[in-house]
Structure 1
Amino acid sequence: MANAACYHCGDQCGKYHVRFDERDFCCNGCKTVYEIFTSNGLSTFYDIEARAGTTPNEVRKKYDFLDNQEIVDKLVEFNEEGMQVVNLSIPTIHCSSCIWVLENLGRLHSGITSSQVDFPKKTVRVGYKTEEISLKALVLLLGSIGYEPYISLEAYNKEKGKVDRSLIYKLGVAGFAFGNVMLLSFPEYFEVEEFWLDQYKPVFRWLMFAFSVPVVLYAGRDYFLSAYKGLRSRLLNIDVPIALGILTLFLRSTTDIIFDLGSGFFDSLTGLVFFLLLGKFFQQKTYAYLSFERDYKSYFPIAVTKLNEKGEEESIQIYKVEVGDRILIRNQEIIPVDCRLLKGNAEIDYSFVTGESQAVFKEPGEKLFAGGKQLSGVLEVEVLKSVSQSYLTQLWGNSVFTKDKAGNFQTLTDSIGKRFTFAVLTIAVIATVFWLFNEPSMALNVFTAVLIIACPCAIALAAPFTLGNMLRIFGKHKFYLKNTNAIERLSKINMAIFDKTGTLTTTQKETILYEGMELSEEETALLKTTLRASNHPLSRSLYDILKSNAIMTLDEFQEHTGKGIEGRVKDHSMKVGSAAYVGKHKSMLPSNTAVYISSDENVKGRFVFKNAYREGVDKIFEAMGRQMEVGVLSGDNDGERKQLQQMLSKDANILFNQKPEDKLNHIKRMQESHNVLMVGDGLNDAGALAQSDVGIAVSENINVFSPACDAILDASKLTLLPKFIKLSRKSMQIIKLSFLLSLCYNVVGLYFAVTGQLLPVVAAILMPLSSISIVVFATLCTNLIGKELK
C-alpha cells in the first residue's frame, strides 16, 4: 500500500497514505480536492489528464493581510459596483488539466463570474462578486485545490496600467505607410504611360509624401533621438548613419516631387523604418514575459501580523513596521526585518542570505536577521530595525545593483557602425568634391545618393534578427536571456565562477552515507521509531531511508533543540544528534554535515549527509575548462573540497565560507583581468550576479525565483551551459558574415551612387533586397546552429 500512487497528483503515497472512495491518496489535501471536484461535478478533471493535480500546501492565517482593504485596493485591477477583477500568479500551473480547473472556478463558487488563464505567464484573471466572495476567500479557495497564488511585495508595489505599447503603434504606422507607398509606386516602377498616370501622378506623389511624414516624425523618432544623444556624448553609434539616411531619403524625395524631378525614394524610406522596427519588436517579444529584476521585495510578505499592547493580533503593511513592534513569524514565513526572538523555537533557514544549506537554531533573546525562513512553529519577535535598514535590504542597496552593464559595453553593431559612419561620410565628401570639379550640377545628387544607398539598414537588421532568433532558440531550451546585449557579453566570457549549493548541487535529493558499527534489527527499529517522533529535516531524511518496518511504542521521547533527540523503550535508549550530544569528542567532527547515533550510551556510528551534485556537473567543468578558467564560490563549509577538486583542475580557484559581500568582492577582483560569468541561484548570490559581466540564475522554477540577473537557466538544462556559450560565440560570427554580405550590397550600390547613375528603380531594388536577404540569412543560420542543442 505504501508504494501506491496518489489518484489526484500521482506522487507516491508513502507514510501519509489515505484510502477514500476505493482510491489511494498521498495526503488529506489531495483527498479533499478529490471530494471538492466530485461533489461539484468536476470529476472529468481526471479524464483530461490522469493524476495531474498538485498537492496543496497547508495555509493558516497566511493571507490575513487580505483583510486590509488598502492592500486589496492596490492588488485588484477593477473594483466597481460590487465587482472586482484580480490577476493572480499561479506558479503551479503546468498542464491542460490545470487550465481546465482554473477556468471552471465558477462551478466551485457561485460568486466567481469569470476566470481566464494565461498559460505562458502562469497567471489567472478572475472576476468575482464581492458580496459573495472576498479576495481572501478566493485565494484560500485556490490554495485548497492546490493552486496557491504567489503574492509578493513586488506585485503590491507594481504600478498597473502602464504597459508600453508605443513600439506596436510605431510598427503599425510604418507598416501601413509602407504598404500604401509601395502600391502607389507601381505605376512609376512599370513606367505606365496611360492618361491616368499623367493626370494623377502629382496626386500619387503627394500621397506618398503624406504617408511618409508620420513615419519620419513618429515611427522613426527613436533613431533620431539615439543619434542625437550619441553625438552629444561624442559617440558615433549605428543610429547616426540610420538617422542620416532616413533624413536624406526624406529631404531628397521631397525635393524631387516639389521640382518634378521624380517620385523620390518614399518606398525605400518607409520600408527601411518598417523593417528596423520589425527587428526591434521581434527581439522584444522574445523575452517580454520574464522578469529579471526581482529583488528582496519578491520574497518579503506584503503584510505581517503585529501584536498590540493587549496581545491582540492585527495585520499591517510591511512598511508600517517600526522598531520596537512585536510581530509573529509563522511556519515557512520569511523574516522581513532584523529582530530579537522573544518566544518560540527558531529553526531558521538562511540559505537565501548565507548560502549555508543547514538550518540554524536560535534561543529566545538571540538576534534574527531578515531573509531567513522559519521552518517550524510560530515565533514572537521584537523588531530591531525597519525594513529599509535591515541586513538583506542593505545588501540589495549596494551600488552594484544600480549599474547598467549594457551601458558600459560597446556592442559589435555600435563598433562597426562607428567605422561605417566615418567611411560613408568620407566617401560622400570625396565623391562630391570630385563632381564639383568635373560637373557641378551632379555634385548634390551624388552626395545625397551616397547617403541614401549606403544607409546601414542591413547592418542594423543583422544583430536584432540574429540575436533575437537566438533568444527564441535559447528560450525553447529553457535558457532565458534578459536581452540581446547579454548574448554579446556572454560570447566574450573567459572565466566562469559557480555557486555550489543549489547550483551545482540539487535540493531535490541528497546522499546519506552510514559510517560505523552495524546495527541490530532491534536497534534499527528503535532508531526509526525515535526518528518518527521528530519533525527535524535531518530526522525526516533519515526516517525515509531506513528499511525497517518495525515500529515500537516509545516509553519516553525527548527533543533537545539544536542538539538531538532521544527515545526509550524499556531499558534501551537511542540518541540521535550532534557528536557532543551522543558523547563523541568534538575533534572527531567531520567537515560534512553528520548525525551521530548511540545505543544505550555507546556511540555506534554516524550518518554523513553529502550534497548530491546535479548529473553532468563533471562534464560541464570539463567542457568549460577547455574554453576558460573555472572556479567555485560557496557559502558552505569546505566538506566538499576534495570532491570538487577531482572534478576541476588542480589550479582551479575554490573558495568556501563566502558571505554575499565576499562573493561580490571576489568577482570584482577577477574582473580586473577577466570577463566573468557568475552562475548562482539564491539571494546570497545576487550581488555577485549583478557585479559579474554576465550573471546566470539557475532555478528549479523560473516563474518563482529569478534574482537580478542577465539570464535564467532551468536547472534541468545546466549541462547545456557550455553549448549555450559556444552558440553565443557562433551568433557573433553570423552577425559578422551578415555585415560582410551587407558590405557587398553597399559596394554595388555605392558604385551607382558615386558614378551618378543611381536611379529610383535601382534604390527600390537594392535597399529592400539587402534588408530581406539579411533577415533570411540570419534566420536560416541561427536555426541551423540551434540544432546543436537537440
Structure 2
Amino acid sequence: MNHNITTTDHDKDAKCFHCGEDCLDEIIKEDDKSFCCTGCHTVYSLLSANDMGAYYEMNLQPGASQKDTVENSRFAFLDDENTRAQLIEFTDGTITKVSFSLPQVHCSSCIWLLEKLPIFNKGISQSKVNFMRKEVYVTFNENEISLRQLAELLTSLGYTPHINLDALGKSKKEEEEKKKSRSFYIKLGVTGFCFGNIMLLSFPEYLGIGIPDRQFVELFGYLNLVLSLPIFFYGAYDYLHSAWAALSHKSINIDVPISLGIFALFFRSVYEILSATGAGYLDSLGALIFLLLIGKWFQQKTFTNISFERDYKSYFPIAVTVLRNGEEKVIPIANLEIKDILRIRSGELIPADALLLKGKAHIDYSFVTGESKAIPIKEGEHIYAGGKQKGGMIEVQIIKEVSQSYLTRLWNDEAFQKDHSQSLNNRTNRLSRYFTAVILVVAFSAGIYWWMQNDVAAAVNSFTAVLIIACPCALALNIPFTLGNALRFLARNGLYVKDTDAIEQMAELDHMVFDKTGTITVAEKSSVSYVGTTLTEEEEQWVAALCNQSTHPVSQQILDRYAHRKSNVKVEDFKELSGKGTEAIIGGKKVKIGKRSFVCPEKEVDQSIQFETHSYFSIDDETKGYFLLKQQLRYGADKLISDLSENVAVSMLSGDNKGEEERLKEIFGENATLRFQQSPQDKMNYIKALQAKSEKVMMLGDGLNDAGALKQANLGIAVAESVHQFSPACDAILSAKSFHQLSQFVKYTKSCMKVTYIGFAFSILYNIVGVSFAVQAELSPVIAAILMPLSSVTVVGLGVLLSSIVGWRTLKN
C-alpha cells in the first residue's frame, strides 16, 4: 500500500495526530494526518504496518510526543552484564522476565498498545501493564531480542523506560507519595484562597446590602470571575481530565457527571456576569471544588488508615531456614537480610535472588515460566526468586532483598487465576457504569423541567446537585474495603487468602473435599515404630540424613524419630519421586525410603500391615525393614468436620490404603464419601464431577501432591504444617495451627458477605433520598459536595467497622 508522505511549513492550527501537540516546526503529513516530528510519524507507521490502528480509536492523540527522544545508544549500558543482572527479575538463559517503569502511561490506549508488544517482536511472549504503578512486566526470549532492544522498542513506541540504577532494590513509593501529597496540598491551597476571596467579595450580596455604584457591582463580578479561573482550570483539572479521558474512550465514569455540574456552574456564571443579568454561582463553584478536594483528602486519609493492601511482610506466609552461628533458625521472609545463608530442602521455594554455596541444585522455575523442568545450577551461580529446589538440601546466600511485587505477582499469575467474571465485585462494577448513565438522564430531566417552569436558578441547582450527590463510588468501594478488611482478620488468625473473590467463594461453597495425610491427620514423633533388622548408629544417621532432605510429612515424621542422629554426613544424588519415595547415595551406599513398589518391588506384600501406613527402608537394594506410621487426627478435626457437615457436604480423598476407613467413617459419618488409593488425577476428576453437578467445591490439601485438585476446585486451600511450602495453585494457605478454626472462617466469610449487602442497601438508600431532594431543587450543589464524599466514607467505614466487629466476635485473635 502506497502512502503519500509530504513535508510542509508550520501551520498554527495543525495538531499532531499521534501526541496532540502543536506542530510548531515543519509538519509531516501522511494519509491526511499531521505529525509534529519524525518520531511521532515513525510510531504511526509502525502501528499501521502491524494493523494496530485501533490504538487511535480508543483515545484522541493517545501517544507521547517523540520530539525529545534521543538516539537509542542511550541504552547501550543495558548490554553490560552487571547492569543487566540488577534489572532482570528472572532468566534461565533464554526466557527472561523484566519490569520497566513507564511514566508516559496515561490512558487505556497505552495499556492496549503495551500489551500488544508480542505483535511487534516475536521474541516477546507476554507483556502486562500495571496502570496504577505505571509499570510494564515483560517476558521475552533473549535469543531473539535483547534487554537493550526491548528498551529501544518501548522508546520507539513513545514509552521510554525510566531506569534509575541508584534506586534499584529500594522502595520509592514513600517518596512518590510525598510528591503527590505536596502537589495536592498546593492545589487545595490555591483553590481555598480563591474560594475565600470570592466569598469575601460576595458578602454584600449575602447580607442584602445594596451597592449604589453599578461600577463596583461589575468590578466585584469581574474580580470573582478572575478568581474563578484558577479554581476551574487548576483545582478542577483532575475531574475534567478524567471525564474527558473516559468520554474519549467512549465510556462514562463518576467524574463525567461531576464535570458537567462544574461546567454548568462556571459557564452559567460567566454568562450572567458578562451580560450583567446576575451575580452567577461562582461562590457555589468555589465551594463545590474546594469541598470536593477536601472530600478527596478525607477519603485518602481514611482509606490509608484502614488500608488492607497486602505486602509480603504481613500477608505472604513463607518462612525459611536460616543458618546463623552454625544453627538452623526458622524465620519469616520479612526478616531476611542480604548475605543471609539459607538451607533449602526439596520442594521449598527460593524467596529471593541468591547464590548457590553448597549442594547440587536442580531448580524448577515452573511457577515463573510455566515450563516444568529442573535446571541444574553449579556452586557460585545465580538462582532467581520463585524457583523450587528439586533435589537434595542446598545452601544459598541471599544477594537481593525480597521483592514484594514479584512474590505477589507469582501468586497472582494468570496461570493460577480462576474465572471470577460472575463474582459480586465484578457485577457491582458493571452496575456502577450503568448507574452513572441513569444519573445523567435524571439530571438533564430535572434541569429541563425547572427550565420549562421559568425557574433558571432551580434548573441550575437541580441539574448540578443531582450530578454531584449521586455517587456510585460507595457501591464500587463497598466490597474491596469490607472484604479487604476481612482478608486482614483472616490472615491474623492463620488463613492467608489470595484475594476478595476467594472470600466470596468460601461463603458460597456447598461441598468440602479433604485430603487425609498432612491435612486432617498429623504426624507425631511417638507414632513411628521400626520393624526389621536392627540398625547401627551409622545407618540411623543415614536415615536421618535422607529424611532431612525432604519436606514431605512422612519424611519429617521419620526424621523426628531420629533427630538425635542428625549429622553432617554427605548426601549425594538425592531424588524424590512424588508418590513413591526418596533415594540418595550416602556413605557410598544407595539408601531408599518409600513404598514397597519403589524400595523392594520383589518383596511379597506383608498381609499384617497392608492396611497400615508404612515406608520401607533399604541399603544397596537390601531391605532392612519398614517404618510403621500412625497418623493422628489434627486437634479439633472431629468437631470441625461435624460442624461443617451440618451445612455442607463433605468428602475425603486419600492416596493411602483403607487401613483407617472405619475410624474415618466415625468422624465423617455414614453419608460422607471416602475414597482411598486416589492419585492426584483421581482427586482432580472427582472435583470436576462434583462441579458438573453445579456444586461449589472447596478442596483442602497439603499443597504437595494436590496442586491439580487445588486449582480445579472453586476454592483451593493448602494446609501448611510449616509455612516453608508454597503452591500458587491454591487460593489460600491455612496454617496447620488454625485448622480447627476452619468452620469459624467459613462462618465469618458468610457474615462479611451480609455486611456487603448492608453496605449496598445503605448506598442505594442514600442515592434515592439524595436524588429525590436534588430533583426538587431543595438541595444546593454545595451541600451535595459535602454529602457525596461523606457517603463513600460512611459506606466504607460501616463495612470495615461491621466486618471488624464480626471478626472480633467470631475469631479468637
TM-score class, shorter: 0.5 to 0.7
- 2-structure distance, mates of 1:660, 1:544: 27
Q: Does 1:500 align with 2:516?
A: yes
Q: 1:690 and 1:642, CA in 2 relative to 1: closer, same or farther beyond 3 A?
A: same
Instruction: Report the counterpart of residue 423 of structure 2 in structure 1.
Output: 409
1:668 to 669, 673, 688: 688
Q: Which amino acid aligns with 1:251?
A: F
* Match of residue 783, structure 1, among 804, 810, 813: 804
Check 1:472–1:506 CA distance in 2 against 1; reply closer, same or farther (3 A cut). Answer: same
The 1:447–1:659 alpha-carbon spacing in structure 2 relative to 1, beyond 3 Å, is farther
Match status 1:74 vs 2:85: yes
- Distance verdict in 2 for CA 1:657–1:670, change over 3 Å: same
> 2:503 & 2:265 partners in 1: Cα distance?
38
| CA apart distance, 1:773 | 2.7
- Residues 260-299 of structure 1: matches in 2 within 5 Å? 260-263=280-283, 264=285, 265-271=288-294, 273-274=296-297, 285-289=308-312, 298=349
Give TM-score, length-normalised by structure 1: 0.54
Using a 3 Å threshold, how does the CA distance of structure 1 residues 317 and 328 change in structure 2: closer, same or farther? closer
Which residue pairs with 1:535 in the alignment? 543
Change (3 A) 1:757 1:695: same
2:231 equivalent to 1:208:
yes
CA distance in 2 between counterparts of 1:688 and 1:249 reads 53
User: Counterparts of 1:90-489 in structure 2 under 5 Å?
Assistant: 177-178=187-188, 181=191, 185=195, 192=203, 201-202=224-225, 204-216=227-239, 221=242, 240=252, 242-255=254-267, 258-259=270-271, 260-263=280-283, 264=285, 265-271=288-294, 273-274=296-297, 285-289=308-312, 298=349, 373-374=391-392, 401=415, 403-411=417-425, 413-414=428-429, 417=432, 420-421=435-436, 424-425=439-440, 427-428=442-443, 430-432=445-447, 434-435=449-450, 437-439=452-454, 441=456, 442-443=458-459, 445-489=461-505
> Aligned partners of 1:778 and 1:448: how far apart in 2?
29
Q: Secondary structure at the match of 1:758?
A: coil
Give per-residue Cα distances to partners, 1:393-431, cap 9 Å, x unaligned. Answer: xxx9xx982645344534263365367446535544553
Question: Equivalents in 1 of 2:717, 2:560: separation in Å?
Answer: 34
How far, CA to CA, are the matches of 1:680 and 1:779 in structure 2?
31
Alpha-carbon shift at residue 782 of structure 1 (Å): 2.2
Deviations, residues 123-161 of structure 1 (Å, cap 9, x unaligned): xxxxxxxxxxxxxxxxxxxxxxxxxxxxxxxxxxxx978
How far is 1:506 from its partner? 3.6
Query: Counterpart of 1:212 in structure 2: which amino acid?
Result: G
Give 1:213 deviation, angstroms. Answer: 4.0
Identical columns (%): 29
Question: SS in structure 2 opposite 1:610?
Answer: strand
Report the counterpart of residue 769 of structure 2 in structure 1. 748
Report the 3-state secondary structure (helix = DSSP H, G, I; strand = E; otherwise coil) of the residue aligned with 2:428: helix
Distance 1:227 1:627 in 2: 48
Amino acid at match of 1:490: M
Question: Cα gap change, 1:789/1:192 in structure 2, threshold over 3 Å: closer, same or farther?
Answer: farther
Task: Find the partner of 2:641 among 616, 621, 626.
Answer: 621
Aligned in 2, Cα 1:543/1:420: closer, same or farther, shift over 3 Å? Answer: closer
Letter in 1 for 2:793: I
> How many angstroms does 1:197 deviate by?
8.8
Q: 2:705 — aligned with what?
A: 684
User: Structure 1 residues 170 and 247 mapped into 2: Cα distance closer, same or farther (>3 Å)?
Assistant: farther
* Range 443-452 or range 286-295, more displaced: 286-295
- 3-state DSSP class of the match of 2:519? helix
Report matched runs for 1:46-57 at 5 Å. none
Q: Tell me the secondary structure at the aligned position of residue 762 of structure 1.
A: helix
Match of 1:732 in 2: 753
- Distance (Å, rounded) in 1 between the aligned partners of 2:541 and 2:228: 88
Alpha-carbon distance in structure 2 between the residues aligned to 1:633 and 1:325: 29
- Take 1:172 and 1:644, find their aligned partners in 2: how far apart are those partners? 63
Opposite residue 770 of structure 1, the aligned amino acid is S
- What CA deviation, in whole Å up to 9, does each residue of 1:696-733 have, x standing for no partner? 33334547635243323322122222222222222222
* Closer, same or farther: CA 480–533 of 1 in aligned 2, 3 Å: closer
1:67-93 deviations in Å (ceiling 9; x for gaps): xx9699726999xxxxxxxxxxxxxxx
Cα separation, 2, equivalents of 1:629 and 1:244: 48
Equivalents in 2 of 1:298, 1:728: separation in Å? 30
**Contact 2:511 / 2:648 at 8 angstroms: preserved in 1?**
yes
741-750 vs 503-512, which moves further: 503-512
Normalising by structure 2, we get a TM-score of 0.53
Asked if the contact 1:292/1:707 (under 8 Å) is kept, the reply is no
Answer whether contact 1:303 1:315 (CA < 8 A) is retained.
no
Distance apart, 1:617 and its partner CA = 1.6
Residues in 1 aligned to 2:423 and 2:729: alpha-carbon distance in whole angstroms: 18
Counterpart in the other structure of 2:632: 612
Q: CA deviation at 1:674?
A: 1.9
Identify the residue that residue 16 of structure 1 maps to in structure 2.
none
2:663 aligned to 626, 643, 647, which one? 643
Judge conservation of contact 2:295–2:786 (CA < 8 Å) in 1. no
Distance 1:720 1:756, change over 3 A: same
Which whole-Å CA distance do the structure 2 matches of 1:635 and 1:227 have between them?
Answer: 57
RMSD over equivalenced CA pairs, Å: 5.7
1:709 partner letter: C
Task: For residue 591 of structure 1, give the secondary structure of its aligned residue in structure 2.
Answer: coil
Structure 2, gaps ≥5 residues long: 1-79, 90-167, 208-215, 272-279, 319-345, 366-370, 395-409, 548-553, 566-586, 618-622
Question: Aligned to 2:496, what secondary structure does the other structure show?
Answer: strand
